[in-house]
Structure 1
Amino acid sequence: MSTPTLATALPAGAVKIATDPSTEPFWLAARERRLVAPRCADCGRFRLPPSPFCPHCQSTAVDWTELSGRGTVYTFTVVHGFPGLPDITLVPAVVDLPDAPGARLVTNVIDVDPADVSIGTALTVDFHPVSDGWLLPVFRVAGSPVPGPAVKERA
């Protein structure tokens, strides 16, 4: 019996983060290993991805709300191979965030056998290093052990 290939995130150098005034608070919080979401200061609705104005009321007023890091799989796919990385397995997912009703985050589920992911799977946030010192929010199956530093620092 073979060992299943675990899903991972893309290597650090394969992901570039570009910020603007609407997205920078999200990325700065991620750099501190915190998950945040913009909430309209006028109508109270959450929005992800961050945008310069609320899509519901068009207000530009925003409050950044720290989230618990819990989520559930709304939908996902499994990708075997990536251009230039034929042996990689990815599980891109859209994650519902219970602390931010109506907001969903596009991310990756990591360190899991893809066969163990399904719609509704409970997740917790983690952060994966990417280029230029940024950290990318990724998710793990809730309750799964977090690998030691040697695994987390892989490129």
Structure 2
Amino acid sequence: MAAQIKTSYPATSTVALTLTTASLASDTNLLAGRASTAVDNTTNVDLDHLLSGAIRTGTSPTVSTTIEVWAYSYLSIASGTPTYADGITGTDANKSMTSANVKNAGLRLVTAITVDNTTGRDYPIPPTSIAGLFGGVLPPFWGIFVVHNTAVALNATQVALQYERVQAQTV
């Protein structure tokens, strides 16, 4: 009988992203946000990472505004150092994208959340395949960019975003 390949989740499969969204300022144009530290998959060589978690609104956000969560990936790797779209550095840092068109071209939309006028509401992000956002192959380096136009800063108490490592096993 031929071996079967099944999905495997390693014992240390859930990993918190390094991304500081606490008190992230609002941006009317949805360009100034926060980028996470890049995830390096060159050692584990996982098949996929499932991004999940939540984003918490601040005090009295404007109804029907948006929180966007984007994924970025490397564009090139020179001498072992990846470069990213529009000057993203691969570190947990504030980032202003050049334009909406550059953001749309260089990043992949994970989710766009329309918010209520409710203070401190958690908006869940269900498990989303990072590999699926990039043509079915998990990039060796990737990260997240969060931006919003809720008219108030996000909640000072941050809710974590994390990813679940996905591997294959032969049985």
TM above 0.5:
no
Q: Into which bin does the TM-score normalised by the smaller protein fall?
A: under 0.3
> Highest relative contact order (Cα 8 Å, sep 6+), 1 or 2?
2
Q: TM-score, normalised by structure 1?
A: 0.25
- Normalized per residue, the structure richer in helix is 1
Which of the two has higher C-alpha Rg?
Answer: 2
